[in-house]
Amino acid sequence: MAKKLKHSIELTVYSNVDELSPEDKELVIKAKEVSKKAYAPYSQFYVGAAIRLDSNEMVEGSNQENMAYPSGMCAERVAIYYANSHHSDKKIDTIAVTAFAKKFDVNHPVSPCGACRQSMAEYELKQNQPIRLIMTGESGEVYIAESIETVLPFMFNEIELKKE
C-alpha cells in the first residue's frame, strides 16, 4: 500500500534588508553591486551572488548569458566555482543572491534554479558543513535558509553513485 511523505522547509523571513545582521546586510549589498555587472542582454534579468568564506573573504559572481542559452551561466555557479578555484582550502559560509530586471520590479526573494541548488549542495557535502543561503530581490522580504539542503530536499549525492 502506498503512503504519503510530507516534507516542509523552514526559512527565516525578514521584512527587508535593513533587518539583517551587519554581516548579512554587507553580503546582500555586495550581491546587489555585482548584479550590475551581469551580462543579460536577452532576459534583462540581472542576478548577483556574493559568497562569504570562513576566512571572512568575499567572492562575487553575476549571471553571464549567451545567445545560445545553454552556454550561459547563473550568478550562483559563477561565484561558487570561482570560490573553489581560487580558495579551495576555505569553506563557504554564506551565499547571498539577488536580482533586478529592466522590465519589472523584483520585489520578492529570488531563489536559485535547480542546477544552482545542486551545485551548491555539492559544495555543502564536500565541506561537510551547512551553507547559509540569503535570498532577496530589489526590495521586499528576505528569506534565509540555514542549509542548501533546506531548499533542495532529497538532493542527489555521491552515495547514489557508489551503490553496487
Contact 69, 83 (CB under 8 A): no
60 is catalytic: no
Q: At which residue does the C-alpha cell 553591486 appear?
A: 33
Q: Name, in order, each residue with C-beta under 8 angstroms of 158's C-beta and a sequence gap of 6 or more.
A: 125
Cα 132–Cα 7–Cα 3 angle in degrees, nearest 5 = 155
The one catalytic residue in 23, 57, 60, 76 is 76
How far apart are alpha carbons 94 and 91 in whole angstroms? 9
Instruction: Catalogue the active-site residues.
Output: 76
